[in-house]
Structure 1
Amino acid sequence: MSPDGYIPRIVDQELDELIEGLPAIAIEGPRGVGKTETALRRAKTVHRLDDADQYALIRAQRQRLIEGEPPILIDEWQRMPESWDVVRRAVDADGTAGRFLLTGSATPTRKPTHSGAGRIVTVRMRPMSLAERMPVVPTVSLGSLLSGTRPDLTGETDATIVDYAEEIMRSGFPGIRRLSSRLRRSALDGYLDRIAEHDFDDLDRRVRDPHTLRRWLMAYAAATSTTASFETVRDAAATSQGHKPARSTTLPYRTALEQLWLLDEVSAWHPTRNPLRRLAGSPTHHLADPALAARLLGCDADELLAGTTGGPAIARNGPLLGALFESLVTLSVKVYAQQNEARVHHLRTHGGEREVDLIVERGYGTVVALEVKLTSSVEERDLRHLRWLSERLGPDLLDAAVITTGSHAYRRRDGIAVVPAALLGA
Structure 2
Amino acid sequence: MVTYRRRIIDDTLDELQPDLRALSIHGPKGVGKTATAMQRAASVIDLSLPAQREIVTADPAILTRLPGPVLVDEWQRLSEVWDHVRHAVDAGSPPGHFLLAGSSAPRGAVVHSGAGRIVPMRMRPLSLAERGIETPTVGLAELLAGNRDVGGTTKLRLADYVEEIVASGFPAIRGLPARVRRAELDGYLDNVVQREFPEQGYPVRRPAVLRAWLGAYAAATSTTTAYSKILDAATGGLANKPAKQTTLAYRDALSSLWLLDAIPPWIPSHNHLDRLGQSSKHHLADPALAARLLGLDAAALLRAEQGSTSLSEGTILGALFEHLAALSIHTYAEAAEALVGHLRTRNNDHEVDLVVQRADGKVLAMEIKLADRVEDADAKHLRWLRDRVGNDLIDAAVIYAGEHAYRRQDGVAVIPLALLGP
Deviations 1:141-181 (A, max 9, x none): 111111124x2211110000100000001000001112111
Which of 101, 104, 122 is the equivalent residue of 1:103? 101
Q: Is 1:332 aligned with 2:333?
A: no
Please tell me whether the aligned partners of residues 105 and 111 of structure 2 are also in contact (alpha carbons under 8 angstroms): no
Which amino acid in structure 2 is aligned with residue 36 of structure 1?
A: T
| Residue in structure 2 matched with residue 375 of structure 1 by the alignment | 371
Which of 136, 139, 142 is the equivalent residue of 2:140? 142
Q: What's the offset of the Cα at 1:307?
A: 1.5
* Counterparts of 1:81 and 1:358, CA distance in 2: 35
Deviations 1:272-318 (A, max 9, x none): 31331210000000000000000000110111111189xxx9x9896
Q: What's the offset of the Cα at 1:364?
A: 2.9
* Counterparts of 2:316 and 2:90, CA distance in 1: 50
Gaps of 5+ in 2: none
Which of 249, 254, 276 is the equivalent residue of 2:251? 254
Which amino acid in structure 1 is aligned with residue 222 of structure 2?
A: S
Worse-matched range after superposition: 405-414 or 384-393: 405-414
| Residue in structure 2 matched with residue 299 of structure 1 by the alignment | 296
Once the two structures are superposed, the pairs formed by residues 247-326 of structure 1 within 5 Å of their partners are 247-307=244-304, 319-326=315-322
Q: Calculate the TM-score normalised by the size of structure 1.
A: 0.95
Q: What's the offset of the Cα at 1:97?
A: 1.4
| Residue in structure 2 matched with residue 166 of structure 1 by the alignment | 163
* Counterparts of 2:89 and 2:34, CA distance in 1: 22
RMSD of aligned C-alpha atoms? 1.8
Once the two structures are superposed, the pairs formed by residues 19-58 of structure 1 within 5 Å of their partners are 19-58=17-56
Once the two structures are superposed, the pairs formed by residues 104-123 of structure 1 within 5 Å of their partners are 104-123=102-121
Worse-matched range after superposition: 45-54 or 341-350: 45-54
User: 3-state SS of the aligned residue for 1:205?
Assistant: coil
* Counterparts of 2:105 and 2:376, CA distance in 1: 45
* Counterparts of 2:184 and 2:313, CA distance in 1: 30
Which of 85, 88, 91 is the equivalent residue of 1:90? 88
Please tell me whether the aligned partners of residues 31 and 171 of structure 2 are also in contact (alpha carbons under 8 angstroms): yes
Q: What's the offset of the Cα at 1:80?
A: 1.3
Deviations 1:241-278 (A, max 9, x none): 56543212101100000000000000001113133121
User: 3-state SS of the aligned residue for 1:101?
Assistant: strand
Which of 348, 357, 361 is the equivalent residue of 1:361? 357
| Residue in structure 2 matched with residue 6 of structure 1 by the alignment | 4
| Residue in structure 2 matched with residue 62 of structure 1 by the alignment | 60
Please tell me whether the aligned partners of residues 160 and 405 of structure 1 are also in contact (alpha carbons under 8 angstroms): yes
Please tell me whether the aligned partners of residues 56 and 62 of structure 2 are also in contact (alpha carbons under 8 angstroms): yes
User: 3-state SS of the aligned residue for 2:367?
Assistant: strand
* Counterparts of 2:404 and 2:109, CA distance in 1: 49
Which of 126, 129, 132 is the equivalent residue of 2:127? 129
* Counterparts of 1:308 and 1:399, CA distance in 2: 30
Gaps of 5+ in 1: none
Worse-matched range after superposition: 396-405 or 201-210: 201-210
Please tell me whether the aligned partners of residues 30 and 106 of structure 1 are also in contact (alpha carbons under 8 angstroms): no
Once the two structures are superposed, the pairs formed by residues 170-185 of structure 1 within 5 Å of their partners are 170-185=167-182
| Residue in structure 2 matched with residue 17 of structure 1 by the alignment | 15
Deviations 1:308-334 (A, max 9, x none): 89xxx9x98962110000000000000
| Residue in structure 2 matched with residue 391 of structure 1 by the alignment | 387
Q: What's the offset of the Cα at 1:75?
A: 0.4
| Residue in structure 2 matched with residue 413 of structure 1 by the alignment | 409
Q: Calculate the TM-score normalised by the size of structure 2.
A: 0.96
| Residue in structure 2 matched with residue 190 of structure 1 by the alignment | 187
Deviations 1:226-254 (A, max 9, x none): 01000110111015356543212101100
Please tell me whether the aligned partners of residues 37 and 99 of structure 2 are also in contact (alpha carbons under 8 angstroms): yes
Q: What's the offset of the Cα at 1:363?
A: 1.8
User: 3-state SS of the aligned residue for 2:55?
Assistant: helix
Which amino acid in structure 2 is aligned with residue 80 of structure 1?
A: L
Please tell me whether the aligned partners of residues 276 and 344 of structure 2 are also in contact (alpha carbons under 8 angstroms): yes
Q: What's the offset of the Cα at 1:408?
A: 0.7
* Counterparts of 1:367 and 1:387, CA distance in 2: 14
Q: Residues 317 and 187 of structure 1: is their aligned pair in 2 closer, same or farther, counting only changes over 3 Å?
A: closer
Q: What's the offset of the Cα at 1:15?
A: 1.0
Please tell me whether the aligned partners of residues 78 and 104 of structure 1 are also in contact (alpha carbons under 8 angstroms): yes
* Counterparts of 1:245 and 1:293, CA distance in 2: 22
| Residue in structure 2 matched with residue 79 of structure 1 by the alignment | 77
